[in-house]
Amino acid sequence: MIYGIDTSFIVQVEVALHPGHEQARELRDRVLDAGDRFALAPQVLAEVIHVVTDERRFARPLSIEAARQRAEAWWNAEEVAPALPNEHTAAQFFNWLSEHRLGRKRLLDTLLAATYRSNDITAIITANTRDFAIFGCFELLTSPA
């Protein structure tokens, strides 16, 4: 199986001081030990860098350079496949915004879901399952909150 990964999961894996760090690392290892892989949309990389460098979220945030290196390592990892927006992504994005009457705070997650869906990804690992449950087409694996 290929699991699309949300920003929350990468943040948990990468930030040692995050309360869900150990559980997220164990989940990552379980997925890989089962022979499964990850899919990663490029917009997640920008959000990861944004979050892990934010001093309001973490007492010791990463520098931009350290965050870039970690994001780039995820992007280039052998067990991670890129999930790129394609000709179906925008249509799915607009469809879900309209169908579910989603507002501005749901734009990024909806675009991420549309990117994964248009790449035939049917499972997502996230700490925020409610962000993706509304679409009704993903198996959601919960990383620790």
User: Is the per-residue pLDDT at 145 higher than 90?
Assistant: no
Residue 69 within a domain: no
Measured CA to CA, the distance from residue 12 to residue 130 in angstroms comes to: 18
Q: Average pLDDT of 78-85? A: 97
Residue 56 within a domain: no
Q: Which amino acid is at 56?
A: R
Residue 54 within a domain: no
Q: Using only the alpha carbons of the chain, give its radius of gyration.
A: 15
**Cα–Cα–Cα angle for 4, 115, 40, rounded to 5 degrees:** 35
Return the CATH number at 108.
3.40.50.1010
Residues near 44 by beta carbon (within 8 Å), at least 6 away in sequence: 5, 6, 7, 10, 112
Q: Please give the model's pTM, rounded to 2 decimal places.
A: 0.92
User: Is the per-residue pLDDT at 144 higher than 70?
Assistant: no
Which structural domain, as residue segments, surrounds residue 100? 2-43+80-142
pLDDT, residue 16, reads 87
Could you tell me the two tokens for 9?
């999961």
Q: What is the pLDDT of residues 20-49, one digit of tens each?
A: 999 999 999 999 999 999 999 999 999 999
pLDDT, residue 58, reads 86
Residue 8 within a domain: yes
Contact 24, 9 (CB under 8 A): yes
Contact 143, 127 (CB under 8 A): yes
How far, rounded to the nearest angstrom, does the alpha carbon of residue 95 sit from its chain's CA centroid?
Answer: 21
Percent of the chain surpassing pLDDT 70: 99
Q: How many domains would you assign to the chain?
A: 1
Residue 112 within a domain: yes
Confidence of residue 87 (pLDDT cuts 50, 70, 90): very high
Residue 63 within a domain: no
pLDDT, residue 90, reads 97
Q: Which amino acid is at 33?
A: D
